[in-house]
């Protein structure tokens, strides 16, 4: 899998309208949120604990869109507090 870490600010669409996906990173399944899309690739963000496990930092990386599996917000292991809940209910088929 091609994982490219990105340090620049991503281009974002409507606030709170970012779908959740599951993907594999270094052999681990990770729940992430798509925050940008470009030419068959998506920029995802996901929480990653610090080494001492007392704090969590958000990580971002570009990945091939075909390497992700769409999941519902309620099935994600974490949720963004700024999500538009009405939008997610519609998108997730409630």
Task: Count up the domains in the chain and report the number.
Answer: 1
| 70/32 Cα distance (integer angstroms) | 10
Q: What is the pLDDT of residue 66?
A: 96
Predicted pLDDT of residue 82: 84
**Residue range(s) defining the domain that contains residue 26:** 4-91
| 3-class SS of residue 73 | helix
The residue ranking higher by pLDDT, 45 or 14, is 45
pLDDT exceeds 80 at position 31: yes
Handedness of CA 32, 37, 43, 47 (dihedral sign): negative
- The model's pLDDT over 34-73, given as tens digits with 9 standing for 90+, comes to 999 998 999 999 998 666 666 778 999 999 999 999 999 8
User: What's the gap between Cα 45 and its chain centre?
Assistant: 4
As a whole number of angstroms, the distance between CA 16 and CA 41 comes to 20
pLDDT band at residue 18, thresholds of 50, 70 and 90? confident
Q: Which helix (H) or strand (E) holds 91?
A: helix 85-91
């Amino acid at each position: 899998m091609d994982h490219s870490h990105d340090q620049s600010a991503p281009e974002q669409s409507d606030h709170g309208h970012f779908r959740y996906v599951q993907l594999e990173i270094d052999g681990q399944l990770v729940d992430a949120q798509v925050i940008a899309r470009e030419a068959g690739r998506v920029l995802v963000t996901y929480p990653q604990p610090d080494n001492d496990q007392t704090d969590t930092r958000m990580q971002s990386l570009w990945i091939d869109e075909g390497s992700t599996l769409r999941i519902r917000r309620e099935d994600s292991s974490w949720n963004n507090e700024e999500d538009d809940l009405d939008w997610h209910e519609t998108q997730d088929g409630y």
